A = this chain, B = another copy of it.
Amino acid sequence: MNDHAFSAPERQAVYRAIYERRDMRHFNGGEVEPELLRRLLMAAHHGPSVGFMQPWRFIRVSAPALRQQLHAVVEVERIRTAQAMGEREDDFMRLKVQGLLDAAELLAVVLPDGREKHIFGRRTLPQMDLASTSCAIQNLWLAARAEGLGMGWVSIFDPLTVAEVLGLPAGAEPVGLLCLGPVAQFYDRPMLEEENWARREALADLVFDDQWGQASTLFAEGK
């Protein structure tokens, strides 16, 4: 504990958002009030960004025909991914992506053009623009969970096709299609864990001391 720590109930609320956030694929239609949507976007806009470049743009997809088109783009890639999976093809195809049609809101997240002029923290790691934008999306995700809304981040699409569909300028890149809105219920555990697609790793296996592969004493017996 220290002077800058939040109160115990506040800390618990932050952890609650972190632990109860889910990548949702099942939505209940409905709507998101404009005021609430602005609040969520403002939370995203307060993500950290390398050199304060704020490399996030959001396209709110409202036109039904455009949604259908993006859903079709995702379906094409879903089939290609499944084919590339070999023995897990059938398992993968069972995991539908209905959110693009069913979620109250659909937001495309785009890295803007002109990013090459930002070299602060990016000269050797240009991908930090995506890192910043991902942190912004996580803010949105956690705020949405606190507001009782589900969100899913779809990355199963051909970026060039999505760029064309959304009229992006050269140099801009779509990095996610966010399905957002009311849900009947949040999964108790990550959906892919519930579906036995994969298991959560033991944290102790992911943390090393000083050198790769050296088990951390943080997780040693009795610590």
Contact = CB atoms under 8 A, between A and B. Distances in A.
Contacts of A9: 9-10, 13
Interface string A186-219: 1000101100011011010011111111001011
Contacts of A101: none
B156 A18 contact: no
Contact of A125 (B48, B155, B186): B155
A183 interface: yes
Contacts of A219: 38
A65 to B, nearest CB: 10
Contacts of A167: 211-213
Given A13-B9, A146-B11, A212-B167, A54 B200 contact: yes
A122 interface: yes
Interface string A174-185: 011000001101
A130 B134 contact: yes
A16 interface: yes
Contacts of A159: 124-125
Contact of A59 (B3, B50, B66, B210): B210
Contacts of A60: 207-210, 216, 218
A26 to B, nearest CB: 13
Contacts of A4: 148-149, 183, 185-186
A53 B146 contact: no
A123 interface: yes
Contact of A134 (B6, B53, B135): B135
A211 B54 CA distance: 20
Contacts of A127: 127, 130, 175
Contacts of A34: 218, 223
24 contacts: A6-B145, A11-B13, A11-B146, A13-B14, A15-B143, A18-B142, A21-B46, A21-B48, A41-B203, A41-B207, A51-B198, A52-B198, A54-B201, A57-B208, A60-B210, A62-B209, A80-B123, A81-B123, A121-B156, A123-B156, A131-B137, A131-B176, A135-B141, A167-B213
